[in-house]
A and B are shown apart, each in its own frame.
Chain A
Amino acid sequence: MRKLILATLAAAVPATMVLAQSAEDTVKARQGFFQLIGYEMGGLAAMAKGDVAYDAQTASAHAADLSTLTSLHVGDYFAPGTSNEDLPGKTRALPAIWEDSDGFMERVQALSAAVENMNGAAGEGLDALRPAMGQLGGACKACHDDFRARSF
């Protein structure tokens, strides 16, 4: 009997670990990831637009954080079964992410390239920051256009 309980427990622990990473959890992690990206973007955009005075150190810090974020292993944030068809009302991730994964990966690489460019530009003054911001925002838009639903 004791053996049986232990065996059941042993089986149950990994099972609950798998359950802990439900589709909903994945969506939450993904949205948290983009929340952070957006936060760093917002800091850079405020300077580019002149809403906030340019500061080389702050701008560089935002760019470095974007670099860190885009270097995360994001594959699991985009686990299959987490599109807006799977979880209506919870996510805006279109099934196209998984159906056209090559196209999606192109956008991800464009984002990485834009982040890398921003890292070189952010500390070099407003005139360097602005075009880098354009490229970076453009990378956001290009992906949102094809892979994110306009509404929940």
Chain B
Amino acid sequence: MAAAGDTQRQGAPSAVLWDPVVRVLHWALVIAFAAAWGLGKFGPDQMTLHFYAGYTVGAIVVLRVIWGFVGPHTARFASFVRGPSAIAAYARRLPERRPSHSWGHNPVGALFVVGVLVVLALQVTSGLLSDPEDYINVGPLAQYVSYEATQTALALHEPLSTVLLVMVLVHVAAIVFYKRWKGENLVTPMITGRRP
């Protein structure tokens, strides 16, 4: 039902591309991730604020996944997760110098959305399980797993932060690519919810 409604209204200037929950979660993630990453890398040795930022990232990921099942059409995984052939077909058309006019995530972008949610979930989990053996920055779930598991989590946490940084850079580069090369503004809809 929601799908049919969205398809009918997608041409109209008043049509909502991204609902408020998607937008708020997106920008909340920008702030929480930047805080968690920056505090982790450059913050004080007593990492209380990094922990809070990490919990916030975790909560955002959980809410976004729930929203991906119960939210409006463009927010749902079922509406944007596509198979390899659709991804390949979209990727072939990607170099074309015109807007894609995707209503929602395009098949390649969808791959990124799922990927970043998975890596964020892994990163939050590894943080919760890490024990750096400094007795002040021990992940709250480290006490429930083996010592080996806490050290594996610790060994993953930093490389994953680099993976996430690269993903953010790829994401931003894609936005710039769409704007400059394809003449498509993807930022405004993520702020106002509507196409400019």
* A residues whose Cβ falls under 8 Å from a Cβ of B: 38, 41-42, 44-45, 133-134, 136-142, 144, 150-152
Task: Find out whether the CB atom of A140 lies under 8 angstroms from the CB atom of B134.
Answer: yes
Task: Find out whether the CB atom of B152 lies under 8 angstroms from the CB atom of A45.
Answer: no
| Smallest CB gap from B46: residue in A | A134
Task: Find out whether the CB atom of A45 lies under 8 angstroms from the CB atom of B135.
Answer: yes
Give the B interface residue count (CB, 8 A): 16
Q: What separation, in Å, do the CA atoms of A136 and B135 have in the docked complex?
A: 9
**Which residues of chain B (132-183) have a CB below 8 Å from chain A?**
132-137, 151-152, 154-155, 157-158
What are 25 A-to-B residue pairs whose CB atoms are below 8 Å? A38-B133, A38-B135, A41-B135, A134-B136, A136-B136, A137-B45, A137-B134, A137-B135, A137-B136, A139-B45, A140-B134, A141-B47, A141-B132, A141-B134, A141-B137, A142-B45, A144-B132, A144-B133, A144-B134, A150-B151, A150-B155, A150-B157, A151-B152, A151-B154, A152-B151
Chain B residues with CB under 8 A of A142: 45
Told that A144-B133, A150-B158 touch, could you supply 11 new A-B pairs with CB distance under 8 A? A38-B133, A44-B135, A137-B45, A138-B134, A138-B136, A141-B132, A141-B136, A141-B137, A144-B134, A150-B151, A152-B151
Chain B residues with CB under 8 A of A44: 135
Interface of A is mostly: helix
Chain A residues with CB under 8 A of B157: 150
Q: What separation, in Å, do the CA atoms of A139 and B155 have in the docked complex?
A: 20
* B44, CB-defined interface residue at 8 Å: yes
